[in-house]
Amino acid sequence: MSFTSPEEYMKHRDVLIEEDRSLRREYMTARLRSPLEVKADEIVRKLRAKEAETIWKEEHPEILHPFPGMEFLTGKKLIEKTKIFKVLSKMPKGALLHAHFDGTVNTSFLLKLALEQPAIHVRVPEPLTAQNISSILPEFQPLPAQSFNLQGPSLTSSDYTTNTWVNIATAREQFDKSLGGPEGFDKWVIDSMMISPAEAYGTHNTVYKIWRKFTSTFIVSRGIIRFMPVFKQYIKQFLKSSIEDGIMYVEPRVNFLYKSMFGADGMDTVMHREMLQTFDEVIQELKSDLKKQGQENRFFGARIIYSTIKFITPDELNWYTEDCIALKKEFPHLIAGFDLVGDENELRPIIDYIEPLLRFRERQAEEGVDIPFILHAGETLGDGNTADDNVYDAILLGTKRIGHGFSIVKHPKLMEICRERGIALEVCPISNEILRLTSSMPMHPLPIMLNNGVPVALSSDDPSVFGNMGLTYDYFQVLVASEVTGLSTLGALARDSIEFSSMDLEQKDRARAAWETAWKEFLEYIAYRSGSPSAVDLVFATSHHLPTTTTSPLPLPGLLPDADTNRKRSRSPSDGDTKQYKRANTGVGPSDASHSNGAGSSVERDNMTSDATKNTSATDDNAASTPGSNRSEKQKEDGAGSSGDSGDTRGASSSGDPSSLTTAPTVPPSANIHMRCLIVTQDASIIIGKGGSHVNEIREKSGARVMVSESIPGNPERILNVSGPLDAVSKAFGLIVRRINDEPFDVPSVPGSRAVTIKFMIPNSRMGSVIGKGGSKIKEIQDASGARLNASEGMLPGSTERVLSVAGVADAIHIATYYIGTILIEAQERMPSSSHSSYRPSSNSSRRPTQGGSSYTPGYSHHIHGPPHNAPQQLQTQQIYIPNDLVGCIIGKGGSKINEIRHMSASQIKIMEPGATGVGPNGAPGGGEGERLVVITGQPANIQMAVQLLYHRLEQEKQKQLRAQQQSSASPSN
């Protein structure tokens, strides 16, 4: 295209920009904006530009690299000082459509409620000290009056007995002065219910790790919230604080996972219908109070999205869908929809529940109710993994809205469907950033969604955990991070929140009218009463604040509502500078991919929290305890009936069969070995293949057992485990390289074949044997195989292992692996390794927890040639005992409950055989008659979480048995 003049060029430029922006949701309303809105929008834009210079370009001692839309937890206090934030705090926000109810009230206020209840008690797994307080979480629970403990001892006393319940107020008063006294108790509790800057941007700076911290906050708070006297006050505070921030309607997701909650008597007997009755009562009381004050147009009510968590089984989901239908029939005005929640990267995908979900729709038709799906989907960095695929299933199931939808920008067709069908995305900018889906707001995909015309409702997700109470913080981050976005854009987002809510038509009409009136008043305030941009900091009217009689109570002295906002973050070596602003590069890696974990998959995988602690590349004299060592049994298990002769590449190799080379050490080809290596996620997907087809073929042709570990979001590496006879293991690695290179299995490597690097994980105690004196062994392997070997200098973080990189074509890897395995087997026979006893069990290992070295688990930053960075804590082991008659409730049907606890706690949990005993504090056997030993291995905080979950499960079962006994005794005898 040629232009004859700059004027003509500018004309075409304006047309192109207009065409591009015509897809945006606010385009039509922007063309019809009133002069008032145009003026207010211009004032806010000028104010934003001014603060970009006067605030975000300035140096701040407490913030090393400020920029608009920066990491929220680091910049929160600076955000609150801006004039734009003060303006937006008065904006009418419409509806809040995505918030998890148990994460919506300020943690200081929740602690205040707990301290007012004598029934609320707290316990810990060991006495608190300065050394362990940061890794131990409080566990709360209401108790019946006869079980109250108002005396102590203190949680910080050496006399405290493990897991003894102590009244919360007593525990606070008795808290040791060296740990801060009562104020120290408050800080400890509040920190356990929130995410700090140091955690989000330092110690937990990946999706996988931050979700572990995130999940733990709810484990702490739920023991308080699930108490009816607190529950009612919690509802009231959530609604009041929402109204104060200009929110006129809410649709919280309420978690119905627990089938009952604790009543005022301290008994776990309150059913779901009573919870909804209380919810309804609070809503009506608040509406009545506002009407008496002539402010009824400030609040149009609330409806609940019934939710449960995606670690339940498909069969268990049937109970919840029936419960939801029953509640909808009794409370039709309260139930807005149905959702499945939880970490999409780790828990079950929607497709696993397709049968009960389709049946749920049929049952609604039978019962004459309408409960739309409002499903979480696409809260992931993945592109084509199961979490990303959830968006397809949500749309096919007819979801009314999509929770998050972060990954939908990778799917143009799905964005088109959302635009055309009016499927709104509930976007939670601050949540996405803190949970490490994006490093900052300027990197968030929201502009892509808006530019494609997808309807969006801004939401806060879990403000009690993140500290973004209300919606002002999220609106602020969106406004300052985009030059295109202006006040009119925020108005369009607020309008859409009403439009895509679950209010009925009459209610929506009234809400729209009330919002438009409030919006006009807001624009007038900016355009006229606040004057010029420099005068926007005048004292603001309190038109969006409740009267003094209904405002939130102030926190108790010593409580720290912003306890997590005053920490500084040092500049990391990876931080980079942009042209205008210094921006922290704190995001996770570009890949979050994982493959399907569907029930139909035949791919075998290690549990990272259990198998990752085992030795690598160690031999095992006991074939029965080594995966794949018993050829006949394992071939039956894997469907590998052949002996592995077909497709053997060794005979065709130019180097010949490695087992017959004259220079090779003489080791029986039947010697068993377990070898592990690190592989990138992309190669792991190739090795596995669709439905496990590739890995099954490798198993069949090699006769080895091949397993790929689960992926860890935010980490590009996974662990490949290969075990069995040495000749089968070495052959398997050759086939793996051929699969990665997409080469035939039955022809030799040819010139031009791509070299692949296999990163074997070798125990440090064995690396010297592999290297040889002066590197002699490595040279011998390289000369015989044609592969290149390189041994790392340092051990992997938190591990006794080093990396041996072997690079070459398939045949070279095959031969080199055989040589390496032979050396490891000989070394093991000469000097068995006591530090890796999990691969060479001692005679009493079945009765005692395994001791020895740890293994590297992907998920931590690691530098092979330098010191470890953010290395994990040393793994620890804890023993507990549970009654024999309650073991079944811990395990669950098909192991579902114990696996759920393992997953949630990221711990290795082993229930020992009857009769197994641990070692008590004095060295004597622990436990008693009728008790079963449970061994938990992991990091201290994870062990504690596992213990809490196990005890909670036991308490649930005891309460269930108690209720059954009460019902039985109450029934008339025949």
Residue 970 — very low, low, confident or very high, per pLDDT cuts 50/70/90? low
CA distances from residue 527 to 54, 318, 666 in whole angstroms, order as listed: 22, 55, 89
3-state secondary structure (DSSP) of residue 946: helix
Would you state the pLDDT for residue 969? 67
Residue 506 — very low, low, confident or very high, per pLDDT cuts 50/70/90? very high
The more confidently predicted of residues 647 and 781 is 781
Residue 544 — very low, low, confident or very high, per pLDDT cuts 50/70/90? very low
Report the share of the chain in percent with pLDDT over 90: 56
Read off the pLDDT of residues 153-188 as tens digits, 9 standing for 90 and up.
999 999 999 999 999 999 999 999 999 999 999 999
Counting beta carbons within 10 angstroms of the beta carbon of residue 652, is it exposed (0 to 12), middle (13 to 18) or buried (19 or more)?
Answer: middle
The whole-number average pLDDT for the span 325-352 is: 97
Give the whole-angstrom CA distance, residue 50 versus residue 939: 48
The whole-number average pLDDT for the span 656-682 is: 62
Residue 865 — very low, low, confident or very high, per pLDDT cuts 50/70/90? very low
The whole-number average pLDDT for the span 565-585 is: 34
Read off the pLDDT of residues 431-451 as tens digits, 9 standing for 90 and up.
999 999 999 999 999 999 999
Would you state the pLDDT for residue 4? 85
Residue 658: both structure tokens together: 């490695």
Using DSSP, how many helices (H) and how many strands (E) does the chain show?
32, 25
Asked whether residue 827 carries a pLDDT value surpassing 70, the answer given is yes
Most confident of 110-124, 659-673, 945-959: 110-124
Residue 800 — very low, low, confident or very high, per pLDDT cuts 50/70/90? confident
The whole-number average pLDDT for the span 515-531 is: 87
Would you state the pLDDT for residue 973? 47
Asked whether residue 118 carries a pLDDT value surpassing 80, the answer given is yes
The whole-number average pLDDT for the span 291-317 is: 95
Backbone dihedral angles phi then psi of residue 913, each to the nearest 5 degrees:
-70, 155
Report the share of the chain in percent with pLDDT over 70: 77
Q: What is the SS3 string spanning 278-326?
A: HHHHHHHHHHHHHHHCCCHHHCCCECEEEEEECCCCHHHHHHHHHHHHH
Neighbouring-strand partners of residue 759:
678, 805
The whole-number average pLDDT for the span 394-416 is: 97
Residue 30 — very low, low, confident or very high, per pLDDT cuts 50/70/90? low
Cis peptide before 153 (omega within 30 of 0): yes
Asked whether residue 192 carries a pLDDT value surpassing 90, the answer given is yes
Give the whole-angstrom CA distance, residue 306 versus residue 340: 9
> Which range, of 310-319, 770-779, 903-912, averages the lowest pLDDT?
903-912
Q: In degrees, to the nearest 5, what angle opens at C-alpha 448 toward C-alphas 446 and 451?
A: 110
Asked whether residue 125 carries a pLDDT value surpassing 90, the answer given is yes
Asked whether residue 854 carries a pLDDT value surpassing 50, the answer given is no
User: Which of 191, 190, 209 minimizes the C-alpha distance to 200?
Assistant: 209
Asked whether residue 636 carries a pLDDT value surpassing 80, the answer given is no
723 touches 627 (CB < 8 A): yes
The conformation of residue 164, written as its DSSP 8-state character, comes to: -
Torsion sign (Cα): 552, 556, 559, 560: positive
The conformation of residue 505, written as its DSSP 8-state character, comes to: H
Would you state the pLDDT for residue 708? 87
Would you state the pLDDT for residue 522? 96
The whole-number average pLDDT for the span 278-302 is: 95
Would you state the pLDDT for residue 517? 95
Residue 7: both structure tokens together: 């004027």
Residue 604 — very low, low, confident or very high, per pLDDT cuts 50/70/90? very low
Asked whether residue 421 carries a pLDDT value surpassing 90, the answer given is yes
Residue 577 — very low, low, confident or very high, per pLDDT cuts 50/70/90? very low
Asked whether residue 364 carries a pLDDT value surpassing 80, the answer given is yes
136 touches 941 (CB < 8 A): yes
3-state secondary structure (DSSP) of residue 337: strand
Q: From the CA atom positions of the chain, what is the Rg in Å?
A: 31
Most confident of 674-683, 731-740, 770-779: 731-740
Would you state the pLDDT for residue 622? 32
The whole-number average pLDDT for the span 780-795 is: 86
> Which range, of 557-561, 773-777, 908-912, 954-958, averages the lowest pLDDT?
557-561
The domains of the chain, with CATH numbers, are 611-839 (3.30.310.210), 876-964 (3.30.1370.10)
> Which range, of 337-346, 405-414, 632-641, 899-908, averages the lowest pLDDT?
632-641
Give the whole-angstrom CA distance, residue 457 versus residue 824: 59
Would you state the pLDDT for residue 28? 62
Asked whether residue 107 carries a pLDDT value surpassing 90, the answer given is yes
The more confidently predicted of residues 186 and 629 is 186
User: Which of 444, 530, 486 minimizes the C-alpha distance to 72?
Assistant: 444
Residue 753 — very low, low, confident or very high, per pLDDT cuts 50/70/90? confident
Give the DSSP H/E element, type plus range, for residue 540: none
CA distances from residue 776 to 212, 641, 772 in whole angstroms, order as listed: 46, 40, 5
**What residue type is 661 in one-letter code?**
L
Would you state the pLDDT for residue 516? 94
Give the whole-angstrom CA distance, residue 712 versus residue 710: 7
165 touches 121 (CB < 8 A): yes
Read off the pLDDT of residues 473-482 as tens digits, 9 standing for 90 and up.
999 999 999 9
User: Which of 88, 20, 84 minimizes the C-alpha distance to 51?
Assistant: 84
H-helix segments, 177-206: 181-192, 197-198
Residue 781: both structure tokens together: 């392997």
Average pLDDT value over all residues in the chain: 80
Would you state the pLDDT for residue 152? 83
Give the whole-angstrom CA distance, residue 724 versus residue 732: 10
